[in-house]
A and B are shown apart, each in its own frame.
Chain A
């Protein structure tokens, strides 16, 4: 079972090579034995997983198998799971047993998946290294002295280590694509509004989007199919038809116009990553694509713009954690104000508090126009850059990150350099566009990610472009040294 994809597992289940119970038990054994090296899971739901697997086996015997019937996966611990702790990697929610399921969890359950457990992340998804988790950092299976990226670092490490074939993630500024890149995986941030955010703990509501993480583009298509679609419980969900993503994987790409932004190959990009991306663009040329140089002139403003908008929205969203209705409450509050101020001071970690304070500043009287309004205006300029580019190209390609996985602890004391690791991913969230990261090589034994950015709601072209590259390359089939 090691290194299995969802597609492999489905074939094995259909051919009765193994049962869902057997493969689920194998993954649970692997987690039990090896996750001590990675810390990729916060909660393992072994009993429930085995019960779900047995039910899936029965459904398959009865001829009533849903599309992903019996496939074990993991959920990022930001998605509410009824009856199971949903911690968001925060002390604030260490005791929070979700009273309902996120739509993504519900939809995947309807599609037949088995849930192995809940994966680690940066606290409230605020980070790019998975070092801000209350449950400790996650280690990268390719090099356990390095970070797996973040914030969906637990999902990424679990898949790369062979402890789950796939997992859910969320992406506010790169939190699916960056860990996918750093761990040698394929991860898709869908278009804003494609996947319901109901029951996904909110960080920055105008940017957050849930999506799949797996080894291949094909598996991403299978998962997205189950996750996507309109949900009346999420007011930002878009009421649009969901295409057949798997059927679209082999769509004809000859004549595809790929734009390469010159700003994505400037100072700060690791030269070996630059060469790997050039080499992958050459493959696309051979596949009949046309490569064009383009410009996204406001690229340098994406990080500044994001570090106002995301904290501002976070400061509003996280005001719900007040020690009254659920979550952490401080001991012996002397009055209501003390209850609020101390519960929040004790329940949130340092990075989360810092971002709440920045957001509070940006929204406070006298500074709103200079910061929040200004950032929203810059955001439109960034979106217009993409609109302009998509008049002449079908997709945009470049590196996912400027550097490969960095050492644990290396950037903790300097958040600004950490923020710059997201320079190529952040603009995509500001513009609401879909984007995928896929493996495109290695540098010094660490994976390199190629990012493809698409037009609004055109995940199909991204998945097809990634899938067809994966038919001609084997970067995505490489296994991390310690993986099982």
Chain B
């Protein structure tokens, strides 16, 4: 399994991580090595095996739909890069 320059560009796009063109070759080599290593799994017949997402096969615990937290917006926004009037500021999205 190997990935070409377009594959890496697509992954970088999906992951929202800029990848410099000069890094593409090494990255595709290293990711390719890992994909080759994990290919050992393909030799095993798992047709009737139920996938395991949680080691105890536990499902999400639900709680009563009650308010149990207080609003701490100011406290949490103190560490934000940029805020105004209780909002997080980002570059303009709509003209």
Chain A residues with a Cβ under 8 A of chain B: 95-97, 99, 192-193, 206, 232, 235-236, 238, 298, 300-301, 303-305, 307-308, 315, 319, 322-327, 329, 333-342, 344-345, 348, 353-354, 356-358, 360-361, 364, 370-371, 373-381, 383, 415-416, 419, 430-433, 456
Q: Pick the residue among B17, B39, B79, B92 that contacts A356 (CB under 8 A).
A: B17
- When the two chains form the complex, which single residue of B37, B42, B75 contacts A416, counting CB atoms closer than 8 Å? B37
Enumerate the 5 nearest inter-chain pairs by beta-carbon distance, A residue then B residue, closest first: A432-B55, A376-B51, A377-B46, A345-B18, A380-B52
Q: Which residues of B contact A301 (CB under 8 A)?
A: 40-41, 44
Secondary structure class of chain B's binding surface, majority of residues = loop
Q: Are B17 and A324 in contact (CB under 8 A)?
A: no
Q: A324, A354, A371: which contacts B81 (Cβ < 8 A)?
A: A324
Please tell me if the beta carbons of B11 and A378 are within 8 angstroms of each other in the complex. no
Contact between A378 and B46, CB atoms less than 8 A apart = yes
Interface of A is mostly: helix
Q: Which of B2-46 contact A (CB under 8 A)?
A: 3, 8, 11-12, 14-19, 27, 30-31, 33-35, 37-42, 44, 46
| Closest partner residue, chain B, to A365 (CB atom) | B14
Contact, CB under 8 Å: A378 / B80:
no
User: B90 and A339: CB pair below 8 A?
Assistant: yes
How many residue pairs link A and B with beta carbons under 8 A? The number is: 156
Q: How many of chain B's residues have a CB under 8 angstroms from any CB in A?
A: 49
Which chain B positions have C-beta within 8 A of A334?
91
Q: A192-B56, A431-B55 are in contact. Are A357 and B46 (CB under 8 A)?
A: no
Report the separation of the CA atoms of residues A371 and B30 in the bound assembly, to the nearest whole angstrom.
17
Determine whether the beta carbon of A356 is less than 8 Å from that of B15: yes
Q: Residue on B with the closest CB to A379?
A: B52
Q: Would B37 and A307 count as touching, CB distance under 8 A?
A: yes
Is the pair A354, B31 in contact by a Cβ cutoff of 8 Å? yes
User: What sequence of 0s and 1s flags, for each residue 72-95 of chain B, a beta carbon within 8 Å of any chain A beta carbon?
Assistant: 100110111110000010111100
List residues of chain B with CB within 8 A of the CB of A99: 72, 75-76, 78-79
* A364 (CB) vs chain B CBs: closest residue: B14
Which residues of chain B have C-beta atoms less than 8 A from A370's C-beta?
42
Q: Are A341 and B79 closer than 8 Å at their CB atoms?
A: no
Q: Which of B15, B19, B31, B60 contacts A315 (CB 8 A)?
A: B15
Q: Smallest CB-CB separation from B78: which chain A residue?
A: A99
Contacts A431-B55, A432-B55: A348 and B37 contacting too (C-beta < 8 A)?
no
Pairs A–B under 8 Å by Cβ, sample size 17: A193-B58, A323-B81, A324-B90, A326-B79, A327-B81, A334-B91, A335-B91, A341-B12, A357-B11, A360-B14, A361-B3, A370-B42, A377-B51, A377-B52, A416-B33, A430-B55, A456-B56
Contact of A336 among B53, B56, B91 (CB under 8 A): B91
Structural contact, B46 and A381, CB atoms closer than 8 A: yes
Q: How far is the CB of A433 from chain B (nearest CB, A)?
A: 8
Smallest CB-CB separation from B18: which chain A residue?
A345
- Contact check: which of A303, A315, A327, A380 meets B51 at CB < 8 Å? A380
B residues near A232, Cβ cutoff 8 Å: 63
